[in-house]
């Protein structure tokens, strides 16, 4: 019973938070964005619309994150990717504005802002407050109210001398109703958001094809770049040291009888070169596929990665079984990029990583207590994470208000075994 009461109160608080966010954030963003789009013909909107639409997307991303955390409702992301090499200056602003307005997801976001204003989340705290008010009426609050204005109607009950005590059972009825339906109201709010933000089946398949085509090209480009990196590292690192070691061995062979002391010194250098070449080869292998990832799985690999960070990091893993090797590899390097981005740009002194399974997907969140302001999209530090997850039809959501904290949430659909 206590768990049900606690759940109803928590759901009421969450409903109040959602209602306040809708009344403040959604109304303001819808108004400003609508005015900005209307000002595009005179040129002003070309400069203001992309920024406002980006704020709308951040607002929607935050709601997606809350839907997953509070009600386990997964709302997929269907934005069209931005050009990887956008134009600069005025041409770039016009191009970005046009692309965002042509994206059907933009207009779904605008419709969602309208729906969010009237999404019904306010009912969750209202039921509890209405019940508490009934108890207060029965406890004596009815007297000054009735004295001031006569008979007061509490729901369908006329409250006056002789009937005020009936407000208590009616208030209890509202509270009991809240115990049963408050969590359902919050979940229904997120279901409504998902219905508005998710495209039709045909549109979804079309966008999925476009996304898979884009991610396939990204995967091919990334593979080619990775091969070039491996070749460069081998040529400039281990290969150069092995060549130098071979030359030293040739010199040693010539000096072994004439100058044993010099030959001994060269043997020491050759030993150092071999150790350095071995270290570089191990680092190269770790960059391709860390041995700990193959041997012990994603959780232990991320824990080992966290130990090497200059910022203290806590890793919480709830994975009773492992995912496919390609998924684990993509998740590992996505986490690595997110952690690198946090260390370089956030100014945080603490990082938390949470890895779990949720509704048939591998879910990872990387949170830091830094200055915030992280964004997604072309040119951002998280664009590589988006491309890596996109190969597996994964999604990335970022919550990073100014002043922090920043939470980067990644989900990859997969089957665990």
pLDDT above 70 (res 239): no
pLDDT in tens, 319-342: 877 777 778 888 888 888 888 888
Domain-terminating residue out of 234, 264, 288: 288
- Give residue 272's domain range: 226-288
Residue 135 falls within a domain, yes or no?
Answer: yes
Q: Are residues 72 and 7 in the same domain?
A: yes
What's the CATH number where 241 sits? 1.20.5
Q: Are residues 283 and 386 in the same domain?
A: no
Q: Are residues 311 and 280 in the same domain?
A: no
pLDDT in tens, 300-309: 888 888 888 8
Q: Are residues 60 and 190 in the same domain?
A: yes
Q: Please, which residues bridge with residue 364 across strands? A: 355, 410
Q: Are residues 19 and 136 in the same domain?
A: yes
pTM for the predicted model, two decimal places? 0.51
Cα–Cα distance, 366 to 93 (Å, whole number)? 31
Q: Are residues 88 and 110 in the same domain?
A: yes
Q: Are residues 46 and 178 in the same domain?
A: yes
Cα–Cα distance, 344 to 274 (Å, whole number)? 33
Domain-terminating residue out of 272, 288, 304: 288
Q: Please, which residues bridge with residue 365 across strands? A: 354, 409
pLDDT above 60 (res 416): no
Tokens linked to 97: 């504005």
Residue 347 falls within a domain, yes or no?
Answer: yes
Q: What is the model's pLDDT at position 417?
A: 46
Q: Are residues 329 and 311 in the same domain?
A: yes
Q: Are residues 273 and 302 in the same domain?
A: no
What mean pLDDT, rounded, does the chain reach? Answer: 76
Residue 169 falls within a domain, yes or no?
Answer: yes
Average pLDDT over residues 82-109: 78
Cα–Cα distance, 216 to 210 (Å, whole number)? 10
Residue 343 falls within a domain, yes or no?
Answer: yes
Q: What is the model's pLDDT at position 376?
A: 62
3-state helix vs strand vs coil in the chain, percent to 5: 70, 10, 20
pLDDT above 70 (res 86): no
Q: Are residues 30 and 98 in the same domain?
A: yes
Q: What is the model's pLDDT at position 237?
A: 63
Residue 214 falls within a domain, yes or no?
Answer: no
Q: Are residues 102 and 192 in the same domain?
A: yes
Residue 211 falls within a domain, yes or no?
Answer: no
Q: What is the model's pLDDT at position 98?
A: 86
pLDDT above 80 (res 144): no
Q: Are residues 134 and 164 in the same domain?
A: yes
Residue 241 falls within a domain, yes or no?
Answer: yes
> How many structural domains comprise the chain?
3
Residue 220 falls within a domain, yes or no?
Answer: no
Domain-terminating residue out of 288, 308, 331: 288
Indicate the pairing of strand 313-318 with strand 351-358. Answer: parallel
């Amino acid at each position: 019973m206590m768990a049900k009461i606690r759940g109803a109160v928590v759901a009421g608080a969450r409903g109040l938070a959602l209602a306040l966010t809708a009344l403040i954030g959604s109304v303001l963003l819808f108004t400003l964005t609508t005015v900005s789009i209307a000002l595009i013909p005179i040129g002003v909107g070309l400069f203001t619309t992309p920024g406002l639409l980006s704020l709308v997307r951040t607002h929607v991303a935050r709601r997606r994150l809350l839907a997953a955390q509070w009600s386990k409702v997964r709302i997929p992301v269907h934005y069209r990717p931005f050009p990887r090499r956008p134009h600069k200056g005025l041409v770039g602003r016009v191009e970005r504005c046009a692309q965002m307005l042509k994206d059907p997801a933009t207009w779904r976001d605008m419709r969602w802002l309208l729906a969010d204003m009237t999404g019904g989340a306010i009912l969750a705290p209202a039921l509890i407050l209405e019940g508490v008010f009934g108890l207060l009426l029965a406890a004596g609050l009815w007297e000054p109210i009735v004295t001031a204005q006569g008979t007061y109607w509490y729901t369908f009950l006329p409250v006056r001398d002789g009937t005020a005590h009936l407000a208590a059972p009616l208030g209890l009825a509202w509270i009991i109703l809240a115990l049963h339906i408050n969590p359902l109201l919050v979940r229904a709010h997120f279901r409504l958001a998902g219905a508005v933000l998710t495209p039709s089946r045909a549109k979804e398949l079309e966008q999925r094809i476009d996304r898979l085509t884009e991610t396939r090209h990204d995967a091919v480009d990334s593979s080619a770049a990775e091969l070039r990196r491996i070749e460069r590292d081998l040529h400039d690192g281990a290969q150069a040291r092995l060549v130098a070691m071979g030359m030293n061995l040739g010199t040693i062979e010539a000096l072994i009888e004439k100058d044993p002391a010099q030959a001994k010194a060269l043997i020491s250098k050759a030993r150092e070169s071999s150790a350095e070449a071995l270290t570089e080869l191990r680092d190269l292998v770790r960059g391709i596929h860390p041995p700990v990832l193959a041997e012990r799985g994603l959780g232990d690999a991320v824990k080992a990665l966290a130990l090497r960070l200059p910022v203290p990091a806590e890793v919480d893993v709830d994975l009773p079984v492992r995912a496919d090797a390609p998924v684990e590899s993509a998740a590992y390097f996505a986490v690595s990029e997110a952690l690198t981005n946090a260390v370089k740009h956030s100014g945080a002194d603490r990082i938390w990583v949470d890895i779990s399974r949720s509704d048939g997907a591998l879910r990872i969140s990387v949170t830091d207590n830094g200055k915030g302001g992280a964004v997604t999209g072309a040119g951002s530090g998280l664009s590589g994470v988006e491309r890596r997850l996109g190969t597996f039809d994964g999604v990335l959501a970022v919550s990073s208000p100014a002043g922090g904290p920043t939470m980067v949430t990644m989900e990859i659909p997969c089957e665990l075994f």
